[in-house]
Each structure stands twice: as C-alpha cells, then as structure tokens.
Amino acid sequence: MFFRQLFDPETSTYTYLIADETSNTAILVDPVLEQVERDQKLIEELGLTLRYCLETHIHADHITGSGKLRELTGCQSIVPMGANAVCADRKIQPGEALEMGSVVIEAIATPGHTDSHMAYLVNKTHLLTGDSLLIRGCGRTDFQGGDAGTLYNSITKNLFTLPDTTLVYPGHDYRGHMVSTIGEEKKFNPRFVGRDRSDFIKLMGNLNLPNPTKIMEAVPANQLCGRAV
C-alpha cells in the first residue's frame, strides 16, 4: 500500500493519498481546492489513476477539491451517508468498504462534529479520523448538527475500541503533530482522560470558539462538491 500525508498550511488540513501499488489506482481523502494542482501533479508523477475522492464530512473550514479533481480526472466523489451534498456520485454507509486491490477502506460512523461524519480504517492499520478525533484533541460540536454527547459516544465506542496500535491520522493539526495511535489518545488526550460523558459535554459547551473564517463560503460550496454558489 502506498500512503502519503499531505498538508494545506492555510487551513491546517491534512489530505491523504492512498494507492494500490499493483493496479496503481488511488484515492484522495479530504482534498483541498487550493491544493488540487499539487495533488494532481503528484498523482501523475507517481503514475497513479485517481479513482475516488472521499470526504470525511462536509467541511466548514476549507473548500473541497473533489469537484475540480472529478472534472480533471473522471474520479468519483464520495461523501458519508446523510451528508447534504447532492453533487456526489455516491454516499458511503457505515460498515461499507471501498476496495482497490490490496487496499480496503472501511467506513466507521463518527457523528458528533457534524451530523454525518465518517472515519476510515485503511487495511486495519491506518485510521483517518477527519475532524472527530484529533491528536490530543477532538473536533468542535457547536454547528452543522454537531452534538457533544454523540461525539463522545462515537470516539469512545467506535474508535477507542480499535487496537491500541492503530495509527491515528487526523483531518487537521494545529501544533505540528502528524500521527498518533489509539493507545496514545486513550492515555493522553485531555478531552477524554478522566472525563465521563457528562464532563465531556460540559467541557465542549464552554469552549466558546470563533467560527471558522471560511464557514459562510465553505459549507454551501462543499454541498456542491467545491463549486462556489
């Protein structure tokens, strides 16, 4: 399996390029519009064919590159079941798997940051958590149908039950971290260590974070796979 982590410095967003090295077919997870040229160049240099653009959720902090990449490459755009994105070619269900040769990507329901959010477990070893579980943190829950109690359940019941050695690759990082493990996050993530569900709900309710700077343009554009309205 080919696995590459890519970064957008403006929005601190991670995009993931995954490929089957036998068929040279690839998938991009959470592409960023401003990085489409970079991503397409890398895919071409590596001799890969982009089959899918896969979203963890409808983003509020950046505009997706999936629509543009679909125009350029003919790939399919895939979003979680329940996401308000009529432009997508298909919607992926919890428990459903995408297969590309030796690469198997399993969808795990992780609502709470938004009302329709998926994490993706790649070959049982690499977990792409989107904006649900972050390294020593978690996604906010105060807009787009987010709910703190739901996020707590998603992470503790659907992610923290995976093997401790599972690698955690988040959708964002704001402190320079690139990868963690489930075991590390269970031991050291301050949003969860020593907190029960009610403590977590109280904590998340008192964060008082400003809205993402791009939320007014990003959400409606992402409901159209990155096309501005």
Q: To which residue do tokens 């990082």 refer?
A: 173
Angle between helices 36-45 and 66-73 (to 10 degrees): 40
CA–CA distance, 191 with 92 (Å, rounded to integer):
28
Q: Which residues contact 176 (CB under 8 A, 6 or more apart)?
A: none
Which of 183, 109, 114, 111 is CA-nearest to residue 145?
A: 114
3-state SS assignment for residue 32? strand
pLDDT average, residue stretch 95-117: 97
pLDDT, one tens digit per residue, over 21-63 is: 999 999 999 999 999 999 999 999 999 999 999 999 999 999 9
CA–CA distances in Å: residue 182 to residues 67, 155, 166: 32, 10, 6
pLDDT tens track for 122-137: 999 999 999 999 999 9
For residue 198, pLDDT beyond 70: yes
Spell out a b/e string for 28-49, using b for 16 or more CB atoms within 10 Å of the CB, else e: bbbbbbebbeebbebbeeeebe
Q: What is the token pair recorded at 143?
A: 């807009």
Average pLDDT score, the chain: 96
The span from the CA of 160 to the CA of 153, in Å, is 10
Which pLDDT score is estimated for 229?
Answer: 45
DSSP string covering 74-131: -PEEEEETT-S-TT-SEEEPTT-EEEETTEEEEEEE-TTSSSS-EEEEETTTEEEEET
Domains along the sequence of the chain with CATH: 2-209 (3.60.15.10)
